[in-house]
């Protein structure tokens, strides 16, 4: 693109119209734009950029600022650019939006932004006239959009070092705008979002599994313990499979450790048993010696007692037949008691069922009453809804009528305004007519005076003969004059009519223009109503959305309460299961102790004196264990063990469920509180922090109230804006019709003016001929008059000589009076014309006033009707709202009634079932009564409970007697057997003791070990065994816990494995794309793509930087960031070839920074140009920065720019550096001056 001619008017610092002819600067090379600070050097490029794209060259200026503050109000602001591209010429003209004086009246109006593109090389193509279309067409012609153009063509002031010193994040934003890499950022965001979704799905699974995994136990001192602790601390994030592997390892190692400890425990038990044998032998030996001596003494005292016990036992044997009789009687009473207890139980159940049945029947009655009330309520609501059915139709009709009346009301207000204007016009016309009448009266008096003077000043010296001869000629001329005068009068009449018609049409056109202007102003005021209406609809939509969110929060609050209730129930259930487990465990321990005691008793029954014990090996059994009659079998013990284990599993499961429920409750509560807190920050609600559900509920109610109030306000504003929008569209339609009428009136007025011009020309030609005839006529009349005066003069010849001198003086005055007369006649004619026009105008105005009066009278009625309709609409709106509310209430009542009907039906079924069950129990009770009578039970009207007590009392007496007989018999038998057994035992024991003493001595070689040493060793073994047993139990419990965790986790392992695998894969991909890989440079995907562009830019930039710095500096992209926490990839270093070092570009001096920044900007321009593909850059601009260079550096910079400017390319340098003025011949001088019309800037081109 090559600019040829640039014209700016009232643009920036240029107060007037300035034209810059770029063709004078040639087609290639450098040229300088220099001048005073603030004179408008950069504004030249602003004007070019604005003409092409409607934007400024930099981000500082806004197009609305382009209106010059120095320009006069009447000067228009615009920019016109003629440019050439690829041999084709174009002209673009554009003006910004600014305030200008109104075309009529006073004040300012907004001049809209306009644009126009003309194809000068192809006249057949239409002119592009809209701003957006012009910008689009320019972009298509040049192949560059606005940002590319400003980056390639204009290296703007202040933008040099932004890119040079920017960090990776800032440079990434700049490159994103230039190279359009947003799609890679969008891909990164998409990966983040996908990671968030995968993480959420993974977290839902992980939290449940993590809770189970956290219950696993890592063995103390395990190699994997550090790894396990890290995994547990991180919540097993992404490592659940590894955690499962570790638990399996723990379980395997635990089993090995458990088996090893079990084996060690068995070895210690074996040693302990061996020591126990030694200890037992020692104890036996000692006890045996003492026992033999004691038993010999006891035997001597026992023999008399044995004889006496045998005699007493024989007596009790004779009393045993009575025991059998009592047993048979007791058995019969037992059967009767059982039957009576069954009757008693049936009676209680029957009473309880009857009471429950009574309560249900009462509940059924209450529900029936409630159903009747609900039915009546629903019927009442239906009746009210029937009454309100027609409200909606009436409301719609009334609303339409109100809109029509409102439209008529607006027209009435407009007519009122027209009426007031017409009355003012009538007053003005009356005053004008009165002044015209006064002027006309004065002029008539002046004309009469002139005519009197003229008659007096007639010349009496003319000859009579000449007058008579002239009279005949003038008669003929007088006839012609009368004919012509009639035609002239007719033409003048037509001319007056045309003139009046034109005046009327002008007045109508002025009124029409004024009405159009008013409607345009009104449309201007209402033009934004559609936008405001859309905004208000958006606000209403946003408000409704927030209300929906509020409803969602209320649902979440209900869910939280429900979850809290579930958690409370689970806690209660957990406590119940734990209590059950503890109870089962206590029962099992008691049963186990009882079982062991029973086993000992059973073992003792088979022991015989002198035979070894299968447990301890002893042949002497001084005190045998007594067999417990209430023993527990092994099956019952195993069953109790199973129950205990089942209770433990249930307790653990309930505990885990309670913990999971609590975690879910906390998560739900925290998520809800966070969302509510975040949501409430957008509302006008004052709060500190949400800690409880009640506080959240209170804040939500407060917000709901505020949102409802906002919604009402928005709806009111929306209704108002809809009315304004309707008015605006009506006005727009009326404005279009009025403009059509205006165009028609203008065309008619033009035709009337043309006709009026024809009549005026015709009247002028006629008047000219009439003036000639009138002159001849005046001369004829004058001659006739002089003839009469001559006759009189003959009679008074003597007196004429005296008046000659006076007549000469009056003759001069006669000419002057004639002229005055003609002027007065002409003025009279004009005033007649004006007067006729005003009278016609007055008549028209009076007709309009009468019409307006009639319209006003009808419009008063319309206004009253409008108020009535408005009141009716409000009343119908209230009725419609009441109807909607009642419909909602009706739906609620119907739902309640359906639920109540269902409950009533369920209750009826329950009552029927209870009645049937009651009848069955009564039949069963009757059968039991019959059974009791069949057993000959004496009833005597007693209750079942009293009969049971009576039978029980009889049984107690029988049992008491039985027990007494049995006790005496058993005591006698026991005493006899005991004494005999004691005798035999003593005898055997004494013998056995003696043998045992000898055996023990023989087993130990004739000597016994030290008792103290044996005890000490036994204690040490007991301690070791206890420690080993404790470790064994601990490892067993840990293994069982890990096994339970492993079984629970493996149920979800397949789903978890797939989810975790996908989550880890997406996480790695997202971290890689977003530069978040641990231990790696933080290079994002978008940055990686931009690095390729950056490398190409640096290659192009280094070509120029090496030239400018004479081979010293070269730009290089920094591979790693200075801080690993910062983003990397686009940071910039500089290589100093003089000392071979690499350092940051921030270490460069001011001039070196300018060279590097200029090179980087030119490299960026070349890269963008290559990416744009096939574009042709004929002109470039470089703005400021040369002041920091010394003479040599400036020469090198100019050399690089001169190389850039070869091959038919122009490069403009915007600067005020003095050295450049001497180095560059072609210049555009911009000066800021204070002229006679005020301050402003001017331009001069030098090509020397």
What pLDDT is attached to residue 863? Answer: 52
DSSP-derived pairing of the beta strands 1179-1183 and 154-155: parallel
Residue 13 DSSP symbol: T
Residues 121 and 255 in one domain: no
- CB atoms closer than 10 angstroms to residue 641: 15
C-alpha to C-alpha distance for 710 and 184, rounded to whole angstroms: 41
Cα-flanking dihedrals φ and ψ of residue 438, to 5°?
A: -65, -45
Does residue 234 belong to any structural domain of this protein? yes
Lowest mean pLDDT among 616-630, 887-901, 931-945, 1139-1153: 931-945
For the segment 339-362, what is each residue's pLDDT rounded down to a tens digit? 777 766 776 777 777 777 777 777
Task: Answer whether residue 1105 shows pLDDT above 80.
Answer: yes
> Greater confidence, 718 or 1085?
1085
- Could you tell me if residue 517 is inside a domain? no
Greater confidence (406 vs 157) lies with 406
Q: Do residue 104 and residue 31 come from a single domain?
A: yes
| Res 1074 pLDDT > 80 | yes
pLDDT reported for residue 950: 75
> What is the pLDDT, as a whole number, of residue 368?
76
Please indicate whether residue 1175 or residue 916 has the higher confidence score (pLDDT). 916
Query: Is residue 129 situated within a structural domain?
Result: yes
Reported as half-sphere exposure (CB side, CA atoms, 13 A), residue 179 has a value of 25
C-alpha–C-alpha distance, residues 1147 and 324, integer Å: 124
Give CA–CA dist 1227/30, Å, rounded: 9
Task: Provide the CATH number for the domain around residue 87.
Answer: 3.40.50.300
The tokens describing 84, both together, are 């050439």
> In the beta sheet, which residues pair with residue 1117?
1132
In this model, does residue 1226 exceed pLDDT 80?
A: yes
Same-domain status, 43 and 145: yes
Full DSSP string of 676-743: HHHHHTTTT---S---SHHHHHHHHHHHHHHHHHHHHHHHHHHHHHHHHHHHHHHHHHHHHHHHHHHH
> Alpha carbon of 519 to those of 105, 530, 734: distances in Å?
15, 17, 8
Asked if pLDDT for residue 1066 goes beyond 70, the answer is yes
Residues of 335-350 as b/e, b for ≥16 C-beta within 10 angstroms?
Answer: ebbebbbbbbebbeeb
Torsion, Cα of 229, 233, 239, 243 (10° steps)? 40
Could you tell me if 941 and 982 lie in one domain? no
Question: What pLDDT sits at residue 91?
Answer: 95
Distance CA(649)–CA(1094), nearest Å, equals: 66
Return the pLDDT at 166: 76
H or E stretch at 170:
helix 168-179
Which of 1017, 1049, 1081 is the last residue before a domain boundary?
1049
pLDDT higher than threshold 90 for residue 908: no
8 forms beta bridges with: 18, 79
Contacts of 318 (CB under 8 A, 6+ apart): none
> 1130, 1171 in Cβ contact below 8 A?
no
List of long-range contacts for 1000-1007, beta carbons under 8 Å, 24+ apart? 1000/281, 1000/284, 1000/285, 1000/288, 1001/285, 1003/281, 1004/281
Residue 583 has pLDDT above 80, yes or no: yes
- In this structure, is residue 660 part of a structural domain? yes
Task: Return the minimum-mean-pLDDT range out of 124-133, 184-193, 778-787.
Answer: 778-787
Q: What are phi and psi of 155, to 5 degrees?
A: -90, 95
Is there a domain that residue 791 lies in? Answer: no
70-to-126, 307, 785, 1110, 1235 alpha-carbon distances in Å: 36, 153, 75, 47, 11
Q: How many residues in the chain? A: 1248
Structure confidence at residue 696 (pLDDT): 63
pLDDT in tens, 124-165: 899 998 899 999 999 888 877 887 777 777 776 456 567 677
**pLDDT at res. 1219:** 77
What per-residue confidence (pLDDT) applies to 629? 53
Q: Are residues 99 and 54 in the same domain?
A: yes
Query: Has residue 29 got a pLDDT over 70?
Result: yes
End-of-domain residue from the set 999, 1025, 1049: 1049
With cut-offs at 50, 70 and 90, classify the pLDDT of residue 1040: confident
What tens digit of pLDDT does each residue of 994-1008 get? 777 777 767 766 666
Condensed to tens digits (0 to 9), the pLDDT of residues 975-994 reads 787 777 777 777 777 777 77
Domain count for the chain, please give it.
4
SS3 1130: coil
Same domain for 52 and 143?
yes
Q: What percent of the chain has a predicted confidence (pLDDT) above 90? A: 4
Averaged confidence pLDDT in the chain? 73
Q: Which residue has the tokens 């957006």?
A: 132
What is the predicted pLDDT for the residue at 207?
66
CB atoms within 10 A of CB 1202: 14
pLDDT bucket at 464, cuts 50 / 70 / 90: very low
pLDDT tens sequence across 682-702: 554 444 455 566 666 666 667
pLDDT tier, 304 (very low <50, low <70, confident <90, very high otherwise):
confident
Q: 80 with 149, same domain?
A: yes
Average pLDDT of the segment spanning 742-748 = 71
What pLDDT was estimated at residue 982? 75
Lowest mean pLDDT among 52-56, 155-159, 500-504, 908-912: 155-159
Q: What does the pLDDT read at residue 1029? A: 80
Same domain, 60 and 118: yes
Spatial separation of the C-alpha atoms in residues 961 and 28, rounded to whole Å: 144
- Is 331 inside a domain boundary? yes
Same domain, 30 and 135: yes
Residue closest to 131 by CA, chosen among 53, 49, 45, 46:
53
Q: Classify residue 90 by its DSSP letter.
A: E
The pLDDT of residue 46 is above 80: yes
Task: Give residue 793's pLDDT.
Answer: 47
Token pair for 817:
């009076």
Comparison of pLDDT for 1184 and 762, the residue scoring more:
762
Strands in 1132-1136's sheet, in edge-to-edge order, are 1113-1117, 1132-1136, 1141-1144
Residues 313 and 337 in one domain: no
Tell me the residue range of the domain where 269 lies: 215-318+968-1007+1039-1049
Mean pLDDT of 1131-1144: 88
Of 833, 781, 825, nearest to 446 by C-alpha is 825
Residues 653, 597 within the same domain: yes
- Report pLDDT for 1166: 76
Residue whose structure tokens are 């065309």: 747
Q: Residue 1130 has what pLDDT?
A: 82
Tokens of 149: 């153009």
DSSP state of 1127: B
Which pairs from 371-374 meet CB under 8 Å and 24+ separation?
A: 371/897, 371/900, 371/901, 371/904, 374/893, 374/896, 374/897, 374/900
Q: Is residue 854 part of a domain?
A: no
Could you tell me if 277 and 336 lie in one domain? no
CA-to-CA distance for 702 and 686, rounded, in angstroms? 10
**Mean pLDDT (whole number) for 401-415:** 65
- DSSP per residue over 763-775, as a string? HHHHHHHHHHHHH
Q: Do residues 557 and 693 make contact, with C-beta atoms less than 8 angstroms apart?
A: yes
Residue 20 has pLDDT above 70, yes or no: yes
Nearest to 1185 by CA among 1200, 1174, 1197, 1196: 1197
Lowest mean pLDDT: which of 12-26, 51-65, 109-123, 1233-1247?
A: 51-65
Q: Is residue 249 part of a domain?
A: yes
| Residue that terminates a domain, selected from 962, 994, 1026 | 962
Q: Which of 65-74, 509-518, 674-683, 1162-1171 is predicted with the least confidence, judged by mean pLDDT?
A: 674-683
79 — pLDDT class (breaks 50, 70, 90):
very high
Q: Which of 589-603, 935-949, 1126-1140 has the lowest mean pLDDT?
A: 935-949
Identify the sign of the CA torsion 28, 30, 35, 38.
positive
Element (H, E) at 1134: strand 1132-1136
Q: Tell me the mean pLDDT in the region 1077-1101.
A: 85
Q: What is the pLDDT of residue 90?
A: 94
Closest of 608, 708, 425 to residue 984, by C-alpha: 608
Taking the C-alpha atoms of residue 903 and residue 910, their distance in angstroms, rounded to an integer, is 11
105-117 burial: b if 16+ Cβ within 10 Å, else e: eeeeeebeeebbb
């Amino acid at each position: 693109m090559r600019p040829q001619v640039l014209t700016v008017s009232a643009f920036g610092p240029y107060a007037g119209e300035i034209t810059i002819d770029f063709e004078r600067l040639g087609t290639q090379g450098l040229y300088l734009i220099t001048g005073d600070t603030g004179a408008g050097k950069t504004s030249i490029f602003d004007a070019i950029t604005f003409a092409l794209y409607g934007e400024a060259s930099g981000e500082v200026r806004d197009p609305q600022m382009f209106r010059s503050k120095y320009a006069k109000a009447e000067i228009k602001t615009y920019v016109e650019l003629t440019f050439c591209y690829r041999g084709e010429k174009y002209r673009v003209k554009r003006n910004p939006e600014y305030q200008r004086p109104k075309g009529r009246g006073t004040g300012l109006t907004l001049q809209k932004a306009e644009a126009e593109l003309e194809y000068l090389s192809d006249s057949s193509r239409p002119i592009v006239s809209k701003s957006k279309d012009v910008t689009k067409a320019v972009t298509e012609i040049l192949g560059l959009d606005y940002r590319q153009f400003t980056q390639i063509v204009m290296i703007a002031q202040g933008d040099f070092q932004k890119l040079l010193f920017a960090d990776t994040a800032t440079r990434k934003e700049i490159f994103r705008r230039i190279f359009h890499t947003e799609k890679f950022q969008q891909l990164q965001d998409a990966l983040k979002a996908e990671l968030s979704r995968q993480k959420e799905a993974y977290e839902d699974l992980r939290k449940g599994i993590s809770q189970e995994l956290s219950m696993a136990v890592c063995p103390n001192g395990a190699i994997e313990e550090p790894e396990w602790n890290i995994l547990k601390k991180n919540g097993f994030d992404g490592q659940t499979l590894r955690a499962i592997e570790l638990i399996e390892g723990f379980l395997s190692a635990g089993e090995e450790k458990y088996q090893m400890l079990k084996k060690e425990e068995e070895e210690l038990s074996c040693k302990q048993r061996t020591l126990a044998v030694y200890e037992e032998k020692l104890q036996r030996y000692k006890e045996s010696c003492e026992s033999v001596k004691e038993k010999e003494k006891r035997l001597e005292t026992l023999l008399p007692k044995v004889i006496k016990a045998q005699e007493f036992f024989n007596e009790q044997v004779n009393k045993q037949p009575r025991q059998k009789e009592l047993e048979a009687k007791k058995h019969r009473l037992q059967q009767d008691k059982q039957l009576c207890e069954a009757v008693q139980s049936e009676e209680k159940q029957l009473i309880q069922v009857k009471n429950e049945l009574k309560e249900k029947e009462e509940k059924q009655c209450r529900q029936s009453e409630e159903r009747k009330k609900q039915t009546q309520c629903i019927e009442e609501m239906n009746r009210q809804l029937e009454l309100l059915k027609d409200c909606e139709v009436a409301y719609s009709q009334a609303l339409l009528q109100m809109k029509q009346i409102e439209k008529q009301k607006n027209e009435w207000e407009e007519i009122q305004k027209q009426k007031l204007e017409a009355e003012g016009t009538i007053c003005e016309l009356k005053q004008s007519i009165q002044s015209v009448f006064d002027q006309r009266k004065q002029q008539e008096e002046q004309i009469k005076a002139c005519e009197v003077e003229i008659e007096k000043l007639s010349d009496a010296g003319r000859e009579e003969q000449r007058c008579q001869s002239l009279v005949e000629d003038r008669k003929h001329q007088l006839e012609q004059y009368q004919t012509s005068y009639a035609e002239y009068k007719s033409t003048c009449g037509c001319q007056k009519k045309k003139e009046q018609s034109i005046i009327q049409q002008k007045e109508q056109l002025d009124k029409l223009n004024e009405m159009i202007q008013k409607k345009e102003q009104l449309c201007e005021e209402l033009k934004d109503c559609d936008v405001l209406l859309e905004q208000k609809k958006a606000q209403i939509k946003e408000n409704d959305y927030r209300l929906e969110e509020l409803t969602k929060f209320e649902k979440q609050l209900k869910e939280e309460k429900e979850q809290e209730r579930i958690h409370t129930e689970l806690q209660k259930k957990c406590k119940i299961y734990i209590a059950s487990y503890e109870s089962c465990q206590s029962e099992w321990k008691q049963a186990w102790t009882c079982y062991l005691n029973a086993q000992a008793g059973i073992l003792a029954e088979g022991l015989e004196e002198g035979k070894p014990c299968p447990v301890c090996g002893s042949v002497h059994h001084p005190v045998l264990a007594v067999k417990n009659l209430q023993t527990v079998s092994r099956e019952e013990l195993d069953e109790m063990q199973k129950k205990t284990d089942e209770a433990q599993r249930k307790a653990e499961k309930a505990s885990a469920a309670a913990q999971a429920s609590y975690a879910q409750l906390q998560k739900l509560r925290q998520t809800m509180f966070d969302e509510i807190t975040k949501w409430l920050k957008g509302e006008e609600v004052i709060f500190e922090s949400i800690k409880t559900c009640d506080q959240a509920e209170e804040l939500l109610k407060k917000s709901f109230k505020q949102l409802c109030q906002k919604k009402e306000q928005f709806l009111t504003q929306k209704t108002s804006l809809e009315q304004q929008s309707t008015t605006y569209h009506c006005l727009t339609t009326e404005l279009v019709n009025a403009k059509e009428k205006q165009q028609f009136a203008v065309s008619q007025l033009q035709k009337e003016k043309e006709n009026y011009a024809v009549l005026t020309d015709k009247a002028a030609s006629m008047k000219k001929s009439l003036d000639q005839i009138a002159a001849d006529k005046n001369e004829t009349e004058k001659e006739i008059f002089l003839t009469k005066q001559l006759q009189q003069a003959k009679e008074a010849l003597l007196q004429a000589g005296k008046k000659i001198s006076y007549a000469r003086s009056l003759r001069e005055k006669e000419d002057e009076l004639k002229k005055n007369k003609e002027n007065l006649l002409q003025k009279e004619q004009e005033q007649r014309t004006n007067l006729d026009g005003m009278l016609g105008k007055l008549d028209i105005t009076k007709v309009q006033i009468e019409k307006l009066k009639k319209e006003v009278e009808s419009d008063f009625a319309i206004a009253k009707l409008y108020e009535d309709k408005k009141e009716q609409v409000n009343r119908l709106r209230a009725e419609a709202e009441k109807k909607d509310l009642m419909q909602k209430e009706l739906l609620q009542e119907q739902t309640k009634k359906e639920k109540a009907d269902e409950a009533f039906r369920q209750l009826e079924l329950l009552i029927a079932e209870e009645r049937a069950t009651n009848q069955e129990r009564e039949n069963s009770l009757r059968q039991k009564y019959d059974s009791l009578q069949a057993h000959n039970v004496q009833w005597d009207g007693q209750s079942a409970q009293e009969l049971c007590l009576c039978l029980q009392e009889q049984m107690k007496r029988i049992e008491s007697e039985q027990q007494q007989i049995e006790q005496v018999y058993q005591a006698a038998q026991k005493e006899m057997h005991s004494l005999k057994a004691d005798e035999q035992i003593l005898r055997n024991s004494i013998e056995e003791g003696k043998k045992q003493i000898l055996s023990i001595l023989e087993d130990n070689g004739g000597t016994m070990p030290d008792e103290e040493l044996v005890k000490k060793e036994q204690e040490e073994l007991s301690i070791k065994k206890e420690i080993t047993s404790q470790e064994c139990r601990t490892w067993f419990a840990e293994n069982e816990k890990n096994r339970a965790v492993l079984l629970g986790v493996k149920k979800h392992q397949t789903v978890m494995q797939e989810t975790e695998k996908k989550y880890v894969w997406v996480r790695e991909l997202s971290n890689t794309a977003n530069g978040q890989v641990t231990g790696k440079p933080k290079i994002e995907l978008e940055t990686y793509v931009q690095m390729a562009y950056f490398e190409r830019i640096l290659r192009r930039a280094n070509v120029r930087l090496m030239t400018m710095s004479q081979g010293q500096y070269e730009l290089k992209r920094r591979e790693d960031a200075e801080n690993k926490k910062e983003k990397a990839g686009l940071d910039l270093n500089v290589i100093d070839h003089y000392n071979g070092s690499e350092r940051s570009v921030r270490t460069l001096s001011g001039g070196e920074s300018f060279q590097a920044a200029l090179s980087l900007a030119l490299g960026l321009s070349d890269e963008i140009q290559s990416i744009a593909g096939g574009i042709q850059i004929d002109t470039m601009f470089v703005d400021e920065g040369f002041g920091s260079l010394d003479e040599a550096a400036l020469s090198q910079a100019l050399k690089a720019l001169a190389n850039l400017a070869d091959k038919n390319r122009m490069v403009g340098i915007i600067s005020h550096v003095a050295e450049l003025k001497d180095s560059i011949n072609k210049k555009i001088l911009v000066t800021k001056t204070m002229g006679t019309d005020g301050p402003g800037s001017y331009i001069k081109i030098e090509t020397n």
